A and B are shown apart, each in its own frame.
Chain A
Amino acid sequence: MKKLLNTLFVTMPDTYLSLDGENIVVKQEESILARYPLHNLEAVCTFGYSGVSPGLMGACATRNIDLTFMTRSGRFLARVTGESRGNVVLRKEQYRISDDDRRSARVARNMIIGKIYNHKWILERATRDHQLRIDMDRMKKVSASLTEIMKQVREVEELDILRGLEGTAAVQYNSVFDELILQQKDDFYFHGRHKRPPLDNVNALLSFAYTLLSNDMKSALEAVGLDAYVGFLHRDRPGRESLALDVMEELRGVYADRFVLSLINKKLIHGTGFYRKENGSVMMDDDTRKIVLKAWQERKQDKIIHPYLNEKMSWGLVPYSQALLLARHIRGDLDEYPPFLWK
């Protein structure tokens, strides 16, 4: 498996990034704040309206360093991509599958199985680790029903039915998600998922984590030569990275939700780090965002054993390994797409 390199997050909005030889130079006004060698970087991600010199954009594009621009709240704005890597053949097959509902369903259902499986084991783990704090009966019931839904999903060949089952499973999981929050319950609670805009601290964190994950997923898909915008479960819509959203399904719980839960449960962040805007939407302040990004970066370095490949790798490479496995299935090397089944 390839090596995981660093991501440079730039959170100060009034900075300017430029190229000096083989280095990125971060400037504010006229003073140089930092300098990083390009060869250590996998991605550069800026929040707010940082400027980047065309020279640096070019250098990132030729070296396949992902350069992304986000708003301060973490909404995706733009991305610099180099010449797309060869393999038209792979993409054409991807489009053929995407045009065929039945074939799409057969790939998408494995991603949904991954999602439900991982949700199930998040709950199972919680019942094991925190027996005395958690409503065991409720958890066990939800876990059992997730297993049932998974078995049905395995047989599905129609996308609409698949979406229905996925919805049912999500309702089940969300109904007990609040149980997983074990600390700071006054400030962090989950009464349902709302994204536009997030109306409480937990939803604000989840939205932010999903953006980070989808960004990693998108780059991973493109790195293996797939088109992140053409999906199987999520239908095409201009500007929507449907395939990234598809593959992300299985990683939301195990990657992003668990990340958010650990920030709260380990008290790395606090209720005071969030504020409410006039329209009711909740945002995190700059310091909290910095803490979250730093923790995200550290999380990526943690090691796991990939369940299908049986190979030790860092969490940060999981999106890439799934993209690679998906490409392998599309080109016919693997009988099915193996989702990331965490336990």
Chain B
Amino acid sequence: MQGYNEEDYLLLSGIQHFNFCRRQWALIHIEQQWEENVRTIEGNHLHRKADQPMIREKRGDKLVVRALPVHSRELGITGICDVVEFVRDPLGVPLAGEEGTYLPFPVEYKRGKPKRNDSDHAQLVAQVMCLEEMLVCEISKGYFYYDEIKHRVEVIITASDRERVRASLQEMRHYFERNHTPKAKAGPHCQSCSLQHICVPEILNKKSVSSFIESRIAE
């Protein structure tokens, strides 16, 4: 299969940044100009990975695996799934060291309550696509688990979801290969952006520097 080399993999978590704001993604993933809070979030992810290498938990027909590293050579991404549930299913695939056949479903943990948010959604879809490629199977759904209401929500993954993720990744690739940070489209979302102080989106809406200098000198 044709695909990307490991050293060119993008971080799966970037899809969420990218959908939130292309520039935010580029600042973090191309320029590595993250602020402390973003760094901490990414850092925690890595920690969990190191601390809990594939803890398997059996619950009846289910096998629950935490902090599972996933990747897709075809998409050129790598990341970590919070939780993947393997459910016994005659239509599933065999797993190393286990009896029977299983189907995997990623469960992404979210702080707070459900909110309609496409950036989270794309992330889950990308996880599904990684799992499909790694396990050679087809996965129809995933879940969000909201810790505030201690409740999970099922998400059906459609062909057009997959298409959207592919399109996003293609665009990310395009910027990544040219090392290009797209200009800011400042908007209300900037208010909740942790990179606001680095990005300073207002600068891009300013008048030209030439006219600023000319008018000042003429005083």
Interface residues of A (CB under 8 A from B): 1-3, 85-87, 89-90, 110, 113, 117, 147, 150-151, 154, 225, 307-309, 311, 324-325, 328-329, 331, 333-339, 341, 343
Compute how far the CA of A261 lies from the CA of B198 in the bound complex, rounded to whole angstroms.
Answer: 34
**Are B33 and A338 closer than 8 Å at their CB atoms?**
no
Which of B1-9, B155-163, B208-216 is the contact stretch? B208-216
Compute how far the CA of A89 lies from the CA of B213 in the bound complex, rounded to whole angstroms.
Answer: 28
The answer, among B197, B204, B213, for a CB contact under 8 Å with A110, is B213
**Are B213 and A338 closer than 8 Å at their CB atoms?**
yes
**Are A89 and B216 closer than 8 Å at their CB atoms?**
no
Q: Which residue of A lies closest to B215 (CB)?
A: A341
| B32 interfacial by beta-carbon distance below 8 Å | yes
**Are B209 and A309 closer than 8 Å at their CB atoms?**
no
Q: A309-B206, A333-B203, A333-B204 known; 5 other A-B pairs, CB under 8 Å?
A: A86-B31, A87-B32, A90-B31, A225-B33, A309-B202
Compute how far the CA of A343 lies from the CA of B30 in the bound complex, rounded to whole angstroms.
Answer: 39
The answer, among A87, A147, A307, A336, for a CB contact under 8 Å with B31, is A87
The answer, among B181, B197, B203, B216, for a CB contact under 8 Å with A334, is B203
Known: A86-B32, A87-B31, A117-B216. A337 touches B203 (CB 8 A): no
| B96 interfacial by beta-carbon distance below 8 Å | no
Residues on B with C-beta less than 8 A from A309 are 200, 202-203, 206
| B183 interfacial by beta-carbon distance below 8 Å | yes
10 interchain pairs, CB-CB under 8 A: A85-B32, A87-B32, A113-B213, A225-B31, A225-B33, A308-B209, A325-B203, A333-B203, A335-B209, A341-B216
**Are A334 and B209 closer than 8 Å at their CB atoms?**
yes
| B136 interfacial by beta-carbon distance below 8 Å | no
**Are A328 and B203 closer than 8 Å at their CB atoms?**
yes
| B170 interfacial by beta-carbon distance below 8 Å | no
Q: What is the minimal beta-carbon distance from A243 to any residue of chain B, in angstroms?
A: 19
| B217 interfacial by beta-carbon distance below 8 Å | yes
Compute how far the CA of A151 lies from the CA of B209 in the bound complex, rounded to whole angstroms.
Answer: 16
**Are B209 and A117 closer than 8 Å at their CB atoms?**
no
**Are A338 and B212 closer than 8 Å at their CB atoms?**
yes
Q: What is the minimal beta-carbon distance from B24 to any residue of chain A, in angstroms?
A: 15
| B179 interfacial by beta-carbon distance below 8 Å | yes
Chain B interface residue number, banded? 20 to 34
Compute how far the CA of A328 lies from the CA of B214 in the bound complex, rounded to whole angstroms.
Answer: 20
Residues on B with C-beta less than 8 A from A113 are 213, 217
Which B residues from 29 to 64 make CB contacts under 8 A with A?
30-33
Residues on B with C-beta less than 8 A from A338 are 209, 212-213
**Are B206 and A308 closer than 8 Å at their CB atoms?**
yes
Which B residues from 177 to 219 make CB contacts under 8 A with A?
179, 181, 183, 197-198, 200, 202-204, 206, 208-210, 212-214, 216-217, 219
**Are B200 and A329 closer than 8 Å at their CB atoms?**
no
Q: What is the minimal beta-carbon distance from B19 to any residue of chain A, in angstroms?
A: 22
**Are A333 and B209 closer than 8 Å at their CB atoms?**
no
**Are A1 and B197 closer than 8 Å at their CB atoms?**
yes
Please give me the 3 A-B residue pairs with the lowest Cβ-Cβ distance, nearest first.
A86-B32, A336-B209, A2-B197
**Are B210 and A336 closer than 8 Å at their CB atoms?**
yes
Q: What is the minimal beta-carbon distance from A105 to any residue of chain B, in angstroms?
A: 15
Residues on B with C-beta less than 8 A from A86 are 30-33
Q: What is the minimal beta-carbon distance from B126 to any residue of chain A, in angstroms?
A: 24
Residues on A with C-beta less than 8 A from B31 are 86-87, 89-90, 225
Q: What is the minimal beta-carbon distance from B2 to any residue of chain A, in angstroms?
A: 28
Residues on B with C-beta less than 8 A from A343 are 219
Q: Which residue of A lies closest to B208 (CB)?
A: A335
**Are A117 and B183 closer than 8 Å at their CB atoms?**
no
Compute how far the CA of A225 lies from the CA of B30 in the bound complex, rounded to whole angstroms.
Answer: 13
Q: What is the minimal beta-carbon distance from B96 to any residue of chain A, in angstroms?
A: 38
Residues on A with C-beta less than 8 A from B181 are 331
Q: What is the minimal beta-carbon distance from A81 to any residue of chain B, in angstroms?
A: 16
Q: Which residue of B lies closest to A151 (CB)?
A: B217
The answer, among A87, A154, A325, for a CB contact under 8 Å with B213, is A154
Residues on B with C-beta less than 8 A from A154 are 213-214, 217
Residues on A with C-beta less than 8 A from B202 are 309, 311
Q: Which residue of B lies closest to A87 (CB)?
A: B31
Compute how far the CA of A338 lies from the CA of B212 in the bound complex, rounded to whole angstroms.
Answer: 8
Q: Which residue of A lies closest to B32 (CB)?
A: A86
The answer, among B179, B183, B200, for a CB contact under 8 Å with A89, is B179
Compute how far the CA of A187 lies from the CA of B11 in the bound complex, rounded to whole angstroms.
Answer: 64
Compute how far the CA of A308 lies from the CA of B208 in the bound complex, rounded to whole angstroms.
Answer: 10
